[in-house]
Each structure stands twice: as C-alpha cells, then as structure tokens.
Amino acid sequence: MALIRTSRPDQTKPTHVRYVVLATLFLVSTFSYGDRVALSITGISFAKDLHLSPLQLGYLFSGFSWAYVVAQLPSGWMLDRFGTKRVYGISIFLWSILAAAAGFAGYFKGALAFSVIFGIRLLSGLAQSPVFPGNGRVVAAWFPSTQRGTASAIFNSSQYFALVVFSPLLGWMSHAYGWKECLWFMGMLGVVLLALWIRTIDDVRTHPRINAAEIATIEDGGGLGVISSAAPGSGIQITWKAVGKLLGTRMLVGIYLGQYCITTLTWFFLTWFPLYLAQARHLSIGKVGFAAALPALFGSIGGILGGWVSDLLLRSGRSLNFSRKTPIVVGMALAMTMMLCNFVDTQWGIMVIMSIAFFGKGFGALGWTVISDTSPKGMVGLNGGMFNLCGNIAGITTPILIGYLVQRTGSYRYALIYVGLTALLAIASYLIVTGPIRRLTPEELGAVPSAS
C-alpha cells in the first residue's frame, strides 16, 4: 500500500478531494446520458429523413441497450480486475469516437443508414457498459456509508441533468444546423472529459491531493478505499457459482427487479418523452428541447434530494432498511402521476404533471446507493454489473414496446399507463421481495480468495 506524502499541508484538517471525484463522476455521467438522449432529440429530424415508423424508431432506440446489457457482467469483472480508472477511461474514449461516427451515417440512405446507426449504437452500448458499475465502485471506495446515499444520488441525477443541458442545446443545434452536427459535437466533448477523468480519479491513499485526515474519514466510515485492481493475493476470485448466488439471493432479486422498473421510467424519459411532446402535444423541434428540460430539472432536484433525505434518516438513527426504502416508495408513488396526462389537454398541465413524475422518479432512484450498501468487498463491480444488467433490460423492452403501442393505437395513452404501472411494481419489489437491506459477505456468495 502506497505511503501518504508528507508534503501535503495541514494533515489534521480534512481535505475534500472526494467531492472533486464526485463532481467528475457527475460530469462524465451527464455526458454519457447526453450521448443516449442525443438520439431521441435528433430522432425527430432523422426519423423524417430516413422515413422510419414508430416501431423502427423504437428498435433504433433500443440498439444501445442490447449490447449494454450483455456487457454488464464482463464490464463489472473488468472493473474489479483491471481497475476503474483504466477501464472507465478507455470507455470514455471509445464512446466519444462512436458518437462522432454516428453523425456520418447521415450520408447513407434508407435501410443502410438505419443499419449503420443501429450498429454504432450497439458498439456504443458496449463502450458505455462500465459507466454506472464504475460509478458505484468509486462511491463505495471514496465515501463513508453515511454520505453514500447523497453521493450516489448526485451521480445518478446526471440522467436528468443531461436532459436539462442537452435537450435544449441539441434541439437548437438540430434545428439550426442539422442532426449530424449534434453527434459530431458530442464526440468532441468526450475528448475533453477524458482528460478531466485522467487527472482527477485515483485510489484514496494514492491520490496526490488528499491528506491523512480525509483518508481517516473515508476509511473509518466504511469507505473501501480502492478503485484500482487488487494487489496479488488479496483479491476475490469470482466463480459462476457466485454469479448464480447473486441471482439466488432474495434481497438482490428484489433490488434487481426494482431497478428494472425504475429504469423503465428512465428509458421512457430518455427516448420517447421528446417525441411524445412533439407528436402528441404538437411542439416544434425547437420547443421540444426546452419543454423536456423543465421536468428533467425537477428530476435532477428530486434525485439529489432523495439521496440527502435517505442519508439524513440514516444519521438520525433510523435503520438502513428504512432509510433507503422510504424515498424509493415515496418517489415511485409520485412517478405514477404521469398516467394523469391522459386526462389533461393543456400544455402547462402536462408540464406540471411530468415535472412531478420526474421529481418522484429522481427522488426514488436510490438503487446504486443500495448496491454500495449491499455489495461484498471485492465484488462491487460484479454486483453492480448484475444490477445494471437486470435494470437495463428495460432499455431494450421499453423503447420497442412503446413504439409498438404508439404504432398500434396511434396514441401515447397506453404507453403512459404501462410506464406508470412499472413504478407501482417497483414499490412492490422493494416492500415485498427485497426484505431487510444489509451488506453481504463474499462467503455467502461463494467467492473465495484468489491465488497469489
């Protein structure tokens, strides 16, 4: 283990490097979701150019998630084996190149253009698969347990903040310049964020700007400390038996099911929500981006507030189980209000209801906090990968099913009912299936120390 540098000033007053690390996670995750939402914002334009039906557009939206889901377990293993900084950094580089490459698909026509964009989105899903397991791993390493809810909520709120930033920006760019230029812009932005990642992220004890007091705060509070690969002989050998036991543990099954339901809401907002505003509420492409940003802003606020409330409950002496589940249940109940949009005709009424639903979805999205609380040491990446795999199956089913419902019925009525009911199922999964939330041990999951 590396020695702490004696040249660091004032070792008795804690530094705040962990907040700089968290800010980096937030920015990079915002860009990751910005890359995902870029297709739905520009989709209003390229759907017309390529003459795509709603179902075809649904398949195109789902392309990212097919590969993203398949890659979750391998990416979780790679994070645990080769370290978060290295794997995550390569991920940023690859998806930035792919974002720019998608813009060139506009020079093709018809079925060829569709196939090229779908293939690029598959590759982008592979490239981005380490992002959220990596985020969970960094938070578990850098934050004590009483701050983990807030930290996880902040990086998780990037999905809403991405809509706040990129919806109006890309909506304007698409209207003023074209959809290809939007994708080229996203590619260039990724290179800047890669440089920030390399400069900021490291293990707790080897970070050049941390002092002994902050290290003690993190480690004494339950922070795991390490995001690089484990030292020889100190790691965990993960077997297929361990993977099977993840899926055979009732608590984790409930968490995974809950995440599938919550991610269904995420993918509705990321893919079909801008088109809902354009097609069902008749907003122009220039206005869609700004209209989508308002509910997303409330989602971002709800995401941060949900984590803060959860940590506050934990610090006040409430159990971990109560502190994590309460915001989830309250948030999902609020998210169900989106079904009321079927009974409202005014645009301002739709914005109010969707803002409440977005806020609730953000307030209850504490899944990554729960994964940080429950994962055995040395298995955060694997458990996070399995969690994200199960959750992001919704990234496949949601765009396709909504596309089918819209094409079959000619409206979004049943799509809103479907998404609202998944929020109810999320409540049931946490209250009925999950049981008490606690940290598992490697031995419970069949993991054994790796050979030196």
Whether 95 has a pLDDT exceeding 80, the answer reads yes
Question: What pLDDT is recorded for position 222?
Answer: 65
- For residues 391-420, give the mean pLDDT: 90
Question: What pLDDT is recorded for position 197?
Answer: 87
Whether 9 has a pLDDT exceeding 50, the answer reads no
Query: What is the spatial distance between Cα 24 and Cα 33, in angstroms, rounded to a whole number?
Result: 14
Question: What pLDDT is recorded for position 244?
Answer: 76
377 CB neighbour count, 10 Å cutoff: 16
CA 79 vs CA 2, 133, 228: distances in Å:
20, 8, 8
Whether 451 has a pLDDT exceeding 70, the answer reads no
Please report which confidence band the pLDDT of residue 421 belongs to, taking 50, 70 and 90 as the band edges. very high
pLDDT tens-digit profile of 130-157? Answer: 887 788 788 877 788 777 777 877 877 7
Torsion sign over Cα 59, 62, 64, 68: negative
Question: What pLDDT is recorded for position 62?
Answer: 81
User: Measured in whole angstroms, how far is the alpha carbon of residue 322 from the centre of its chain?
Assistant: 23
In terms of residues, how long is the chain? 452
Question: What pLDDT is recorded for position 381?
Answer: 66
Whether 297 has a pLDDT exceeding 70, the answer reads yes
Tokens linked to 131: 């992002």
pLDDT tens-digit profile of 224-255? Answer: 655 565 544 444 555 666 677 777 888 999 99
Q: Mean pLDDT over all residues of the chain?
A: 81
Tokens linked to 418: 């479907």
Domains and CATH numbers, the chain: 17-222+238-442 (1.20.1250.20)
Question: What pLDDT is recorded for position 432?
Answer: 94
pLDDT tens-digit profile of 49-80? Answer: 667 777 777 888 788 888 888 887 788 778 87
Question: What pLDDT is recorded for position 239?
Answer: 61
Please report which confidence band the pLDDT of residue 285 belongs to, taking 50, 70 and 90 as the band edges. low
**Pick from 169, 139, 365, 149: which is nearest to 266 by CA?**
365
Which has the higher per-residue pLDDT, 50 or 340? 340
Question: What pLDDT is recorded for position 329?
Answer: 96
Question: What pLDDT is recorded for position 110?
Answer: 66
Q: Which residues of 142-179 are buried (b: 16+ CB within 10 A; e: fewer)?
A: bbebebbbbbbbbbbbbbbbbbbbbbbbbbbbbbeebb
Please report which confidence band the pLDDT of residue 3 belongs to, taking 50, 70 and 90 as the band edges. very low
* For the ranges 57-66, 135-144, 160-169, 321-330, the one whose mean pLDDT is highest: 321-330
Whether 452 has a pLDDT exceeding 60, the answer reads no
Tokens linked to 133: 């397991």
* Rg (alpha carbons) of the chain, rounded to whole number: 21
Which has the higher per-residue pLDDT, 445 or 104? 104
Q: Which residues of 248-287 are buried (b: 16+ CB within 10 A; e: fewer)?
A: ebebbbbbbbbbbbbbbbbbbbbbbbbbbbbbbbebebeb
DSSP-assigned letter for residue 228? S
The answer to which of 64-73, 195-204, 281-290, 357-366 has the lowest mean pLDDT is 281-290
Which has the higher per-residue pLDDT, 157 or 324? 324
Query: What is the spatial distance between Cα 296 and Cα 340, in angstroms, rounded to a whole number?
Result: 18
Could you tell me if 233 and 451 are in contact, meaning their C-beta atoms sit under 8 angstroms apart? yes
Percentage above 70 pLDDT, the chain? 85
